[in-house]
Amino acid sequence: MTPLTSWKDKALFTPGPLTTSRTVKQAMLRDMGSRDSEFIEIVRDVRRRLVALCAEPDEYTAVLMPGSGTYGVEATLSSVIPPEGKLLLLINGAYGERMHKIANVQHIQHKALSFAENVQPDPEALRQALDEDPDISYVAVVHSETTTGIINPIEIYGPIVKSHGCIFIVDAMSSFAAYPIDLKACGIDFLVSSANKCIEGVPGFSFVLARKETLLATRGFARTLSLDLLAQWEGLESDGQFRFTPPTHVVLAFHQALLELEQEGGIPARVERYRQNYEATLAAMLAFGFEPYVERTKRGYIITSFYYPDHANFDFKTFYQKLSDKGSIIYPGKLTHANCFRIGHIGRLTLSDVDALIAAISETLREMNISLPARVED
C-alpha cells in the first residue's frame, strides 16, 4: 500500500466531499471519549465559532446533527413545523426537489412553487403565494443550488417572508462560509449546512444555525426521535453532549477546519480564493469553447455547470476518466433538461490546482481530438 507520507490524492473539483488540508485530516488521528471534558469543550468551541460567522450569539445558536447534509435538512423540516403548519417550497433544482420529497415523506402540509433550473425563484411569485394563502407559515429555499451553481437571492426573499409573519428556512449547504450571510438581515430562522462543504471539514455531520426564540417554540413538533432538533440542542446546552454517539473524529477535523478558516482570514479570504478559482476556471473553459449553463449574473462561484459540447468526439465518461487519470476529479451533471457536467471551485484548492486542471483539460481535448471555437461572455 502507498505510505501516507508520499500520498497525493486527486484534487476534488466537486460539490463535496471536498479536498481538505493535511492538518484537517491529521486532526482525526485521535481517539477521544465522547463524554470527556476535552471533547465537550471542542464541541462548545465549534458551536460558538459557527454562530460567530454569521450572527449574534444571544439571538442565534448552533445545533450539530450526525449524518450528511440531507439529515440536517430533514431534521429541520421534520422538527420545526407543527401538524397544522404549512410549508411553501421554492424549487429550482435537485436540492429543492429533495426538500419536497422530505415534506412528502414527513407528511408536512406544503405547496411547491417550481421554476426552471436556470432561473431564480421569482420574489413576486413568492409574495403572491403568501398573499393568496394565509395558511402558509413556513418558507424554505436553497441558497446555492448545487445542481446548477445558481445563487438564489435569499436577502430578497427574507424580508418578504418576514413581512408575512412566516418562518424562513434556508439550505445554505454549499454556500455557508463561502458567501457572507447575515442571518438576521436575511430574516433566516433556520440555516442548514454540513461539515464537508465550505468550512472544508470531512463528511459526518450537518449543522443548523437557528434563531433561539423560534427553535424554543418548536417543542412537541418533532416527527422523529433521532433527528429531533430541539432535543439535540437541549442535550448540547445541558451537558455539552450529543444524545447519541457523536462522530468524534469528524468533529475534531471540523474544529481544525474552523481554526484554518480563521487563519486564512475568515470568510472574506475564502470568498476571494473561491472566486479566483472560479474566474480562472471559467476563463479557460470559455477559451476551450465550453458554454456555461447558467447566465453569468445568476451564477455563483461555488460550482459551474457546462453543457456537453456539440462535438461528435465528446463522451463524458471518457473525458472524466482522462481528467481523473491526470489527477483532477470533476463531477457529472444532475439536470433534468440538459446534458451538463460540473466543475467545483470549493475545498482546499488554489490557483495552482486550477492550473493543473486546465492543463489536464487541454491535454484531454487534444487526446480526444476535440477542438471548439472559443467563446466570449460579456
Ligand X SMILES: *Cc1c(COP(=O)(O)O)cnc(C)c1O
Least distance from ligand X to the Cβ atom of residue 194, Å = 5
What number of residues does the chain have? Answer: 378
Applying CB under 6 A, among 16, 121, 201, 347 the residue interacting with ligand X is 16
Nearest-CB residue for ligand X? 69
What is the nearest approach in angstroms of ligand X to the Cβ of residue 40?
A: 26
Tell me which of 11, 14, 15, 251 binds ligand X, using CB under 6 A: 15
**Using the rule CB under 6 A, which residue among 13, 60, 95, 274 binds ligand X?**
95
Alpha carbon distance 355, 280 (integer Å): 8
Task: Assess contact for 251 and 259: CB atoms under 8 A.
Answer: no
Residue 171 lies near ligand X (rule: CB under 6 A):
yes
- Which one, 75 or 358, has the nearer CB to ligand X? 75
Asked if 142 is part of the footprint of ligand X (rule: CB under 6 A), the reply reads yes
State in angstroms the smallest separation of the CB of 15 from ligand X: 5
SS (H, E, C) 279-323: HHHHHHHHHHCCCECCCHHHECCCEEEEECCCCCCCCHHHHHHHH
Residues 82, 109: Cα–Cα separation, whole Å: 10
Q: Which residue of 173, 294, 335, 357 would you call a contact of ligand X, by CB under 6 A? A: 173
What's the rounded Cα separation, in Å, for the pair 237 and 222? 18
**Residue number, 197 or 255, with CB nearest to ligand X:** 197
Name the residue with cell 456539440.
310
Nearest distance from residue 153's CB to ligand X, in Å?
Answer: 15
Stretch that binds ligand X, among 62-70, 115-123, 179-187, 280-288 (CB under 6 A): 62-70
Cα distance between residue 199 and residue 176, in whole Å: 8
For the range 363-372, what are the long-range contacts, defined as Cβ-Cβ under 8 Å and sequence gap of 24 or more? 363/326, 364/319, 364/322, 364/323, 364/326, 365/288, 367/322, 368/313, 368/314, 368/315, 368/318, 368/319, 368/322, 369/313, 370/309, 370/311, 370/313, 370/314, 371/289, 372/288, 372/289, 372/290, 372/309, 372/311
Q: Does 344 participate in binding ligand X (rule CB under 6 A)? A: no
Cβ-based nearer residue to ligand X, 17 or 39: 17
Q: Which is nearer to ligand X, 171 or 260 (CB)?
A: 171
Binding piece for ligand X, criterion CB under 6 A, among 48-56, 67-75, 102-110, 158-166: 67-75
Count of residues in contact with ligand X, rule CB under 6 A: 12
Residue 228 interacts with ligand X (CB under 6 A): yes or no:
no
Q: Does 174 bind ligand X (CB under 6 A)?
A: yes
**Of 81, 375, 323, 93, whose CA–CA distance to 215 is shortest?**
81
* Residue 69 sits in the site that holds ligand X (CB under 6 A): yes
Name the residues that contact ligand X, by CB under 6 A: 15-16, 68-70, 95, 142, 146, 171, 173-174, 194
